[in-house]
Chain A
Amino acid sequence: MSPSLTRYMFRRLAQVLPILLGILAVNFVLIHLAPGDPIYLLAGDSGDAAYYAAMRAKYGLDQPIVNQFVLYLWNAAQGQFGYSFAYTRPVFEVIGARVPPTLLLMGSSLVLSISIGLWLGAVAARRANSSVDHVISVGTLIGYGMPAFWLAQLLVLVFAVRLGWFPIQGMVDLRAAYQGAPLVLDILHHLFLPMLTLTLLHLALVTRLTRTGIRQEQGEDYVRTARAKGLAENQVQQRHAFRNALLPVVTTVGLQIGMLFMGAVLVEIIFAWPGLGRLLYDATLNRDYPLLMGIFLSVSLCVIFANLVTDVIYTFLDPRVKFT
């Protein structure tokens, strides 16, 4: 690592703490401002005032919100993020169990949508305004425009219910209880439809950006120079135009991580995928404050990290960008 990169990373990492504090504060206020109350989960529906008051006191929900926040920060500083109301377990124990399925789903969709999107975008750009270009553009836009839940249901109806190629829901076949390699295959079998849904949803953006980027770069002087040098068209496209066209794609994909997570919430619900998105949904319905804060914190950290990685990749792709 060059000294400038080290310095840069150090400075960026130092920013993480104040950013996180800000995120925690905003989220804390946000979830307490939202109508609703975790007491319905904690105290059930007995309709008994004394009981509600006792539960409120036990969980500190009777304290002023400022006190609650200070207490939360104080505990968080010591690594205590509290117990989930619904799970009666430490927040990060609950979250930890749900991370791998979400990483698998989001990660595979991300890789797929980027690689397919780049390829389709490049094809569309090279044959701009041809029928191939039109098919790609319209096709990906339809994917982009479709509501996630509808697209997911459609895929289930066609590929799982009618054709029977894939399971309808879940991550593993509970009846078969596979181990080892068959288990991996079983998970991939279950992964296919939810992954396809998320990929289709995000494909259009990458394709569009790549196509536009390459088209733009093709008009630039350096491309003309490359051609004038007598480079083969393939080389002109891949070495020069494509590489520059990647810049906006990288930036956008970094931004998209948060979006992708939101898409994952719906997809995880429809396919009964046991991930973090669904945990967020349930925690929201229950107003499970400690768990919500924990999820926000985890997702924020992921996004901050993704942005850092994006910026670093950017500097490699574009030598004009310097760490300062």
Chain B
Amino acid sequence: MKHTFVLLALLATAFSMLGCTSAPPATTQLPAATQPAVVTISTQPTTAPATEAAVPSKEGGTLLVAITSDPGHFNPSITTGFTTHVVADSMFNGLVGLDENLQPIPDLADEWQVSNDGKTYTFHLHPGIMWHDGTPFTSADVKFSFENILLKFHSRTAAGLTPVLDKIETPDANTVVFHFQVPYGPLLQRLDVTEAPILPQHIYQGTDPQKADANLKPVGTGPFKFVEYAKGDHVTLEKNATYFKKGMPRLDKVIFKVIPDANAALQALQKGEVDYSWATNESQMKTLQGSPGITTAKAAASPGGSFCINTFAFNLEHPPLDKVQVRQAINHAIDRQRIQNQIHFGFGKVATGPISSRMSWFYNPNVTKYDFDVEKAKQLLDQAGVKPGADGARLKLVFPHPTTFNKYGELIREQLGAVGIQVQDAPMDFNAATDRVFVKRDFDLAIVSFCNGPDPEIGVRRVYDSRNIKPIPFSNGAAYKNPRIDELFDKGALTIGNEQRAPSYLEIQDILTKDLPYLWFIETEGTRAHRSEFHDFQNWTGHFAEYAWTDNPK
């Protein structure tokens, strides 16, 4: 008996001790392109990216990929989680893909048209595509995937499309038509393999997609086929010899190996135990850049989020944070350049506002900027009436954050301390921090990696729209209310064509950088590393190995 209670105590301790550092998969998505307002017909052929040199690619070989967490299952349509997508995306396709600049390119659909009123999208599917089990792929699979799975279980697709989508029609086996209730601008941005992977109707019909056996024995249309899953250890995929993209894939096998510890993954890559790493962090990139036989790469997107900005939320319900001078003062007190250098090792870019500069078609460079200026910060605090108290502190702010942001915690405590703001920083695991900030609202300052997604409608609106002040994660945590902002987001979504949509988003950035309900630190970027004998990875997407090849196929 006694022994049992000892165990209980241990488990209880374990529970509290296991505060950890898994990086939150944030918004995932890849953008779509400048869509002309009227009828658009894409006629781009499906082409491989230009090879790095004039060296002809080789066929065959095995790629060993380090991933940080066990994928659990391979149904990419019921989750937005990075751990499932990073493996499963190679086995599936979306209607459209996204190129390096996150512009739409053909995937399952060869071409598409948008009606003049922006309410109807028609997709023409590539003919002759087969599922891995040999069954022909048809438009019925697309309709089924959206209606029965994506619109119910893929959180971003469900949230984004359900309110606006009218119906999906399949006039013939190779045509899919999306009808919207309103003109809908961002559709092409949300149809790639991460946002809307297409599943086989003949396998999933009549099952609960969240418990289906096929989740562990996936059948897709993608470049690689499922072979084996050793839970917690590895997943083996092999080449889909009948893949519809001519000559692809080139590799015979891709094996994903779960290596949870970042150092172990780094050492395994250096020693050649693995060939490609999704687990490389910024500090390791410096080490790897000098390593012989290793190639490093950066990417603004991944199946775990695109165009992400590390962002401070001010709790506007907690005075004096409701005063704009106080928020301006904090903006002046933060040395973003030092954060980029010391925390991100120079990677990424200092952010200027809520929309990433890499979403160049909507980015506004001419916004109000706040230079690092300690004296100005103190003046602004004086003006706001926030004067030093008996202990020298002007203000005490509680800053709960996930342990992944521990270094931010330290630097911010120091930098705000210099202007008399005492920061009580409280590190906790990601899940607990999310709960405390968004649900319990027990914070003054909070930090979140908000990913724009490929479109502001997907990842930006939720953070600033006053109708999204709710006790749910990744909502408008600052509790910022501005009817003009809400109106501009509505306008941006209901307009067709990026050029026509841009003015709304430019104005949004102008207003937000004056109101400062949030503070934008750094536009972060994804870091990848791989053995140099491998080439032509698409580092920004879950289809990263679709075109990859190696010098030494065994």
Residues on A facing B (Cβ under 8 Å): 15, 19, 23, 26-27, 30-31, 34-37, 39-41, 43-52, 83-84, 86-89, 94, 97-98, 101, 153, 156, 160-161, 164, 167-172, 174-175, 254-255, 258-259, 262, 265, 269-272, 274-275, 278-282, 284-287, 296, 299-300, 303-304, 307, 310
Contact = CB atoms under 8 A, between A and B. Distances in A.
28 contacts: A35-B431, A37-B435, A39-B473, A40-B434, A47-B472, A48-B155, A49-B468, A88-B72, A89-B215, A89-B216, A97-B230, A161-B271, A164-B271, A169-B265, A169-B268, A174-B64, A258-B7, A259-B10, A271-B264, A272-B258, A274-B230, A274-B232, A274-B258, A282-B69, A284-B14, A284-B15, A285-B431, A300-B4
- Lowest 9 A-B CB distances belong to which pairs? A48-B159, A274-B232, A44-B155, A47-B462, A36-B431, A274-B233, A44-B80, A35-B432, A46-B155
Nearest to B231: A97
Nearest to A15: B1
Nearest to B229: A97
Interface of B: 1, 3-4, 6-8, 10-12, 14-16, 18, 20, 22, 24-27, 62, 64, 69-70, 72-73, 75, 78-81, 154-156, 158-160, 210-212, 215-216, 230-234, 236, 255, 257-261, 263-265, 267-268, 270-271, 273, 428-432, 434-436, 439, 462-463, 468, 470, 472-475
Please report whether the interface of chain A is mostly helix, strand, loop or mixed according to DSSP.
helix
Contact of A43 (B22, B75, B155, B470): B155
Given A45-B26, A47-B159, A169 B264 contact: yes
Contact of A160 (B81, B212, B267): B267
Where chain B touches its partner, the secondary structure class is mixed
Nearest to B275: A175
B18 A281 contact: yes
Nearest to A23: B8
Given A87-B72, A153-B263, 15 more contacts: A23-B4, A36-B429, A36-B435, A45-B473, A46-B80, A46-B160, A47-B159, A47-B472, A49-B472, A49-B475, A87-B73, A168-B271, A171-B233, A265-B14, A285-B429
Contacts of A259: 10
B29 to A, nearest CB: 11
B432 to A, nearest CB: 4
Nearest to A90: B211
A275 B12 CA distance: 20
B260 A269 contact: yes
A50 B271 CA distance: 48
B430 to A, nearest CB: 7
A303 B26 contact: no
A168 B72 contact: no
A167 B3 contact: no
A282 B231 CA distance: 13
A88 B18 contact: no
B73 A167 contact: no
A51 B159 contact: yes
B524 to A, nearest CB: 16
Given A274-B258, A287-B431, A35 B230 contact: no
A132 B341 CA distance: 52
A285 B216 contact: no
Contacts of B8: 23, 26-27, 300
Nearest to A102: B232
A285 B10 contact: no
